Every structure is written in C-alpha cells, then in structure tokens.
C-alpha cells in the first residue's frame, strides 16, 4: 500500500464466531489455506493469521487484554474505511496524514495498512501511466477483427494516437495469442470445483497472480509468431 492506491479486493467485516469455527473445522480436515479462504470468503492472509493465533491460544477468542490497545476506535475505523473507499488513489502515507488531522491522533502508515487489511482492503502497485515509461516507445498493437475491436470509435482513436496496428485476417481469431492465455486460465479453473461467483473471482485472482507471468506470456506470443506470420502472408 505504501506508495500505492488502496485498491479494494474484498471487503470483509471482523469474523464472527461461526466463521472462526468453520475455519478451524476446515483446517483440521487438512484443507489448504487457499481452499479455506475460498470456502469462507475471507482473505488467505487473515485465515493464516487466525489459525496461528488459534494454535497458540487454543481458542477462537482473543485473550482478554491481549495485544496493544487499539489506536483507532470504531468511529475512527469507519472514517478510515470511508476515506479509503472515496479516495482509492491515495497512498497509505496520504491517508495517515488525513486521518491524523481528522482524529487528532498520531496515525502512522502502518496503522492505516494494518486496519485496512484487517477489513479486506488491500493496496496494489499502479502500472506506469504511459507506454513511454514502460519502455514501449516503438510497438505494433495486435488484435483480431472482432466488431468491438474494429469499431469506428476505436479505429479513430488509433489514428489520433498514431498507434500502429498489425493487419489481421478476418476469419482467423484462433491465431490471436490472447486465446492461448484464456485457454490456460480455463484449464486451471477446470481443476477446481467452484461453488459461486465469489470463489470464481478469488480463483481468477490467484491464477493471474501465481501462474501468469512475463515468461509464460512470452511463450504464448512466441509459439504463435511463426505460424501467424506465415498465415498472414
């Protein structure tokens, strides 16, 4: 979150006793942390922290008086969550500065991050704002001829921004490297029994974050390059 916007992945209130009990029951059946996270709808890091606390204390409840006194009371926490959601591009440092003014309490960036994370709000690093910053000054944009890609509005935008596009045959959408990425994601999803849309969302985030990487994307592109160009000639 430091130096990055507070992008919400999943909003979750403090776990109730039923959810805590369910997590422990699933853990004792040897279910993985990720599977438990998908099952109960709680972030994996929160599940892990709770299980570690349970193993240490032997109870799903916090010990009375355990831990440091909380800096933020309930009203402060509501203001923090509200401000974060209304200002998703603010960094944790900027949020801590604003919350310090609002509450007259010394609230650090770490306090902001911890409290937002505990409530299912996490930060992600932003991509560079332009292709120039990504080192892509000279490139050719590739897409197939789906109607949404060749709409007049889109083509006018390409002309306006001087974006070069690769000529593409109208009847060969399977040559598009992105199709191989979707095939990879579908194959990964087929290995898991998903129960609802939330589980699907969480699993897609996991697949994208853990199995899709620059090397794999390069393989998708390179594997099609020679075949694609021979078909285009």
pLDDT at position 97? 92
pLDDT at position 122? 78
pLDDT at position 120? 78
Do 108 and 96 contact (CB within 8 A), yes or no?
Answer: yes
What are the angstrom distances between the C-alpha of 120 and each of 47, 116, 200? 12, 6, 17
pLDDT at position 96? 92
Q: How far, in Å, CA of 185 to CA of 188, rounded?
A: 5
Q: How far, in Å, CA of 175 to CA of 224, rounded?
A: 7
Q: What is the DSSP string of 89-100?
A: T--HHHHHHHHH
Residue 20: closest CA among 60, 62, 56: 60
| Structure-token pair, residue 131 | 């292709």
Q: How far, in Å, CA of 71 to CA of 203, rounded?
A: 34
pLDDT at position 94? 92
Do 12 and 43 contact (CB within 8 A), yes or no?
Answer: yes
Partners of 8 in beta bridges = 121
pLDDT at position 143? 80
List average pLDDT for each run of 10 residues in the chain, which is 233 residues long: 39 69 87 88 86 83 62 89 88 91 88 86 67 67 80 90 80 68 86 85 84 73 57 53
Q: Is the dihedral of CA 72, 73, 74, 76 positive or negative?
A: negative
Q: How far, in Å, CA of 159 to CA of 165, rounded?
A: 10
Residue 150: closest CA among 128, 166, 130: 166
Partners of 165 in beta bridges = 141
Q: Report yes or no on whether pTM surpasses 0.75.
A: no
Return all residues near 172 (Cβ < 8 A) that are at least 6 apart.
144, 231
pLDDT at position 194? 83
| DSSP 8-class letter at 131 | T
pLDDT at position 65? 52
Return all residues near 62 (Cβ < 8 A) that are at least 6 apart.
53
């Amino acid at each position: 979150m430091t130096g990055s916007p507070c992008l919400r992945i999943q909003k979750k209130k403090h776990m109730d006793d039923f959810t805590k009990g369910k997590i422990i029951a699933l853990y004792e059946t040897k279910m993985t942390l990720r599977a438990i996270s998908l099952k109960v709808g709680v972030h994996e890091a929160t599940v892990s922290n709770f299980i570690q606390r349970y193993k240490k204390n032997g109870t799903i409840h916090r010990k009375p008086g355990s831990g440091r006194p909380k800096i933020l009371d309930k009203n402060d926490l509501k203001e923090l969550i509200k401000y974060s959601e209304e200002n998703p591009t603010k960094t944790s440092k900027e949020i801590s500065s604003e919350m310090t003014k609002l509450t007259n309490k010394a609230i650090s960036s770490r306090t902001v991050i911890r409290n937002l994370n505990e409530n299912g709000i996490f930060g992600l690093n932003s991509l560079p704002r332009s292709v120039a910053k990504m080192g892509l000054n000279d490139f050719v944009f590739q897409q197939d001829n789906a109607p949404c890609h060749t709409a007049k509005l889109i083509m006018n935008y390409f002309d306006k921004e001087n974006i070069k596009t690769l000529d593409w045959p109208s009847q060969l959408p399977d040559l598009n490297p992105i199709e191989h990425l979707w095939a990879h994601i579908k194959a990964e999803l087929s290995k898991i029994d998903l129960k609802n849309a939330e589980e699907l969302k969480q699993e897609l985030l996991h697949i994208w974050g853990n199995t899709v990487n620059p090397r794999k994307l390069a393989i998708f592109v390179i594997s099609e390059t020679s075949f694609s160009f021979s078909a285009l000639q």
